[in-house]
């Protein structure tokens, strides 16, 4: 099997599995208890908090452990909305993950306004439009770091400058699930207030993530109870998952995988780019400043993405047709349509996403299979 759907989830590193299993055997004490073994676990969790903060240029006391990236996004958006005493506007990009796009529907029901930032043909937010939409009544601006469908790196620095100029009171929320540790980001230098990450996207375990918060920004907790995480996210600490997340961050940091992932992506693309009918969506794959190193969106003219995905699975190659959170809804990607793709091209798209465990040989074999399957399937293309 060749697994090329790492934006959906990643296989945990062996060291992560070992760390989690070891923690379940030895660090299973409740970290909120007062006796020595529990204090040792609390100390280990604190070290993971430092590790996460350092990796994103955040402050240690701003790291809130969550169950996933979705929970982090919800806490940032709804936690901000509930601090407001008058109607405000919330601005989000047209390509946001459902974790953001669905959550702002609740903001609408609270009586606030939602404004959508358009993207260009490469799938990147347009700063000129942001200048028109962000104003003194903006409460929060939400923009993902990297598009989960096309790999387009968003112009966060430009957005941050616009926010600080036009709406200094607004909070800046970034969904970093697809960018964390693959595309650099420093919260402090960039002026990001909330940064959501997920463990299982970086070869860590499922069920653990974090929202990194600028400690000066107030949030209303969405989960209340025993007061863990400074009262921002109550619930008994999942020490094994947290310690495994810390291990994943340390290994990803040590590997510094961006250049290797980019080389693998370009190896695959160079095999395919000369084939008539196969095109890449989003930024030019070779553009290291605009295109993330690990995601490649491919359209196959005349062949539905679902058909190509199933054909490749028959060859032992696993890809997706878009976000795993929407893969069972069988609808054309709104993100691709927002970039100006026509429905047929958007419907003929698959997403290839790479991880640290992929190899050059897999790129060669995958490209060969894609070319061969396309050669067969396009004979039956729609008229």
Distance separating alpha carbons of residues 152 and 252, to the nearest angstrom: 21
Where is the domain boundary, 254, 272, 302?
254
On whether both 304 and 243 belong to a single domain, the answer is no
Q: Count structural domains, the chain.
A: 2
Is the pLDDT assigned to residue 25 strictly greater than 90?
yes
Confirm whether 325 is a catalytic residue: yes
Is the pLDDT assigned to residue 383 strictly greater than 90?
no
Residues contacting residue 56 through CB under 8 Å, at least 6 positions apart? 176, 180, 185, 186, 187, 195, 197, 212
Nearest to 198 by CA among 372, 349, 52, 94: 52
How high is the mean pLDDT of the chain?
96
Kindly report the backbone phi and psi dihedral angles of residue 188, in degrees, each rounded to the nearest multiple of 5, phi listed first. -60, -50
Domain that holds residue 372: 2-10+256-380
Q: Is the dihedral of CA 97, 262, 320, 7 positive or negative?
A: negative
Where is the domain boundary, 201, 230, 254?
254
For the chain, the 3-state helix, strand and coil shares in percent, each to the nearest 5, are 45, 15, 40
Distance separating alpha carbons of residues 203 and 276, to the nearest angstrom: 35
What is the number of alpha carbons within 13 Å of residue 213 lying toward its C-beta?
26
Nearest to 253 by CA among 3, 15, 8, 7: 15
On whether both 225 and 351 belong to a single domain, the answer is no
Residue 306, SS3 per DSSP:
helix
H or E segment at 92?
strand 89-93
On whether both 230 and 376 belong to a single domain, the answer is no
Where is the domain boundary, 254, 273, 301?
254
Pairing of strands 63-66, 209-213: antiparallel
CATH number, position 156? 3.40.640.10
**Residue at token pair 């609270």:** 110
Nearest to 212 by CA among 179, 167, 240, 235: 179
On whether both 155 and 249 belong to a single domain, the answer is yes
Q: How far is CA 217 from the centre of its chain?
A: 22
Nearest to 360 by CA among 267, 258, 255, 252: 267
For residue range 99-152, list pLDDT tens digits in order.
999 999 999 999 999 999 999 999 999 999 999 999 999 999 999 999 999 999
For residue range 174-215, list pLDDT tens digits in order.
999 999 999 999 999 999 999 999 999 999 999 999 999 999
CATH number, position 337? 3.90.1150.10
For residue range 210-240, list pLDDT tens digits in order.
999 999 999 999 999 999 999 999 999 999 9
Q: Choosing from 48, 51, 68, 325, which is the catalytic residue?
A: 325
């Amino acid at each position: 099997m060749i697994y090329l759907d790492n934006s959906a989830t990643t296989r945990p590193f062996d060291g992560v599995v070992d760390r989690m299993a070891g923690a379940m055997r030895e660090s299973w004490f409740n970290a909120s208890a007062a006796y020595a073994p529990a204090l040792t676990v609390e100390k280990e969790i604190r070290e993971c908090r430092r590790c996460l903060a350092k990796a994103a240029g955040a402050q240690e006391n701003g790291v809130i452990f969550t169950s996933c990236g979705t929970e982090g996004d919800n806490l940032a958006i709804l936690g901000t909305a509930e601090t407001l005493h008058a109607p405000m506007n919330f601005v989000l990009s047209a390509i946001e993950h459902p974790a953001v796009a669905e959550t702002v529907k609740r903001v609408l029901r609270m009586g606030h306004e939602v404004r959508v930032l358009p993207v260009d043909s490469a799938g990147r937010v347009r700063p000129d439009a942001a200048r028109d939409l962000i104003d003194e009544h903006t409460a929060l601006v939400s923009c993902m770091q990297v598009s989960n469908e096309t790999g387009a790196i968003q112009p966060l620095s430009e957005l941050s400058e616009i926010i600080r100029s036009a709406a200094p009171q607004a909070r800046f929320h970034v969904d970093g699930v697809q960018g964390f540790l693959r595309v650099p980001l420093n919260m402090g230098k960039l002026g990001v207030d909330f940064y959501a990450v997920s463990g299982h996207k970086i070869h860590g375990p499922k069920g653990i993530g974090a929202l990194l918060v600028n400690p000066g920004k107030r949030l209303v907790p969405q989960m209340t109870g025993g007061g863990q995480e400074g009262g921002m996210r109550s619930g008994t600490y999942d020490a094994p998952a947290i310690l495994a997340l810390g291990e994943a961050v340390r290994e990803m940091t040590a590997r510094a995988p961006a250049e290797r992932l980019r080389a693998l992506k370009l190896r695959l693309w160079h095999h395919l780019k000369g084939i008539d009918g196969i095109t890449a969506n989003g930024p030019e794959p070779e553009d290291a400043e605009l295109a993330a190193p690990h995601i490649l969106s491919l359209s196959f003219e005349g062949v539905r993405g679902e058909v190509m995905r199933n054909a490749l699975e028959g060859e032992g190659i696993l890809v997706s047709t878009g976000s795993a959170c929407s893969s069972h809804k069988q609808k054309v990607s709104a993100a691709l349509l927002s970039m100006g793709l026509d429905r047929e091209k958007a419907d003929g798209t698959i997403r290839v996403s790479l991880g640290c465990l992929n190899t050059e040989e897999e790129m060669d074999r995958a490209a060969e299979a894609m070319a061969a399957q396309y050669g067969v399937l396009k004979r039956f293309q729609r008229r």
